[in-house]
Structures are given as C-alpha cells and as structure tokens.
Amino acid sequence: MFAISLGDDHAELRPLEPWNAEEYLAHIDRSRAYIGRHIALAERATDLASARAFLQSYADKKATDSGALYGIWADGTLVGGVLFRTFDAAAGTCEVGCWLEESAVGRGLVTRAITVLVDWAVEVRGIHRVEWQASSANAESLKVAQRLGMERDGVLRESHVHRGVRRDTEVWSVLAPQWRARREAARQG
C-alpha cells in the first residue's frame, strides 16, 4: 500500500478499498448530512454491506482501468476522498471528483489531493482532458475547480435530480498543455 503526503499537516492520500468499508462507513456516518447536500454519495453507503459494495465498485473500475478511488486521511482519520469517476486512457479523458467532511474543510486537502491525481493522469498516463462536474449550487466544489486552473465549459441545465429537485451541472476542464504550463509557472514562481 502507498500513502502520499499532502503537506506538513499530517494529511495523506491512500487507496480507498473494500477492506476499508468499516472506516469508510464511520466517516460517511459522521458527515452524512454535510456530504449529502450536493451529491448522492452518502446515500450509497447506509450500512456495512452497501459501503463495501460501493468501495468494491471502484476496485472493479480500477481493475479495468476505468476509474479509481482514494481516501484523504488527516491525523490518521479518514475525512474525505477524491476519485477518477471515469477514466479513459485510449480517449485521453477522465473526470475527477471529491468529497470532504465538514471538519476538514478549509485546509486545502481536496485541492492538493486532486493535484496529485491530475499530475499522475497527465504526466504518467497521457490524459489530455481532465473534467470536473459539480452542481451549480455547490459553490465550494466550483471554487476547487477554479483553484486548479480549470475553465468553465458550460452548464447542463437541470441535468440531474438530487433529493427530488432537478439541478444544473457545471462542467469544468483543464487540458494537459494548460496543466503543464500552470505547474511549471508554480515551480518557477
């Protein structure tokens, strides 16, 4: 197993796998209301069996090179995660996403974790377009996309239903040349 440090604040990124189901469920239970405001993730893990099934679905995606799931641990506690919701190396595209419990907000954990994923996707796997989709109502998520240097491609009007309400989805993206230029500028600056 590997762990990637997310900075000096005792935070790290690790694979989130089916054997983590109990810890994952405890994390979701701690933050179900907060996480569930904009995404259905909290509704996918209501007991140990459903938590394990969700984690297994991403283990299966990882095995077929079509997605992956990673947890964010802060001071040894699972507080959120990032993922390749979709991953298509042949087409050179992927979609990243995230979630975080309220106690860990404001520390830059998601931005740092997604940076690790995008660096790997672009530099190791040759991904050309990295996409971010979020509800237009999810201001925190949209700010992360902006911090990552993504550009807003458009809005899919009333494209999904969350808790019985039709919601708009914003689509943001960064292309590999933009990502590389931004990373190089950060290294030099």
Kindly tell me if the per-residue pLDDT of 96 is higher than 70: yes
pLDDT (mean) for 65-75: 96
At residue 119, does pLDDT exceed 80? yes
Token representation of residue 120: 């790997």
Task: Tell me the C-alpha to C-alpha distance, in Å, between residue 31 and each of 37, 104, 108.
Answer: 10, 11, 18
What is the pLDDT at residue 180? 96
Residue 169's beta-bridge partner residues?
135, 156
For 34-67, how does the pLDDT look when each residue is reduced to its tens digit (9 = 90+)?
888 888 888 889 999 999 999 999 999 999 999 9
pLDDT of residue 39: 84
Q: State the alpha helices, DSSP H only, in the chain.
A: 21-35, 48-63, 109-123, 139-147, 176-188
The answer to whether the CB of 62 falls within 8 A of the CB of 68 is yes
Average pLDDT over residues 74-83: 95
Report d(CA 53, CA 42) in Å as an integer: 13
Cross-strand partners of 134:
170
Query: How close are the terminal C-alpha atoms of the chain, in Å?
Result: 33
Closest CA to 84 of 96, 76, 72: 96
- Average pLDDT of the segment spanning 123-151: 95
Least confident window among 23-27, 42-46, 74-78, 110-114: 42-46
Q: Yes or no: is domain 4-188 CATH 3.10.180.10?
A: no
- The whole-model pTM stands at 0.93
Q: Where are the domains of the chain?
A: 4-188
Task: Name, in order, each residue with C-beta under 8 angstroms of 55's C-beta and a sequence gap of 6 or more.
Answer: 16, 17, 18, 20, 21, 24, 69
- Split at pLDDT 50, 70, 90, the class of 87 is very high
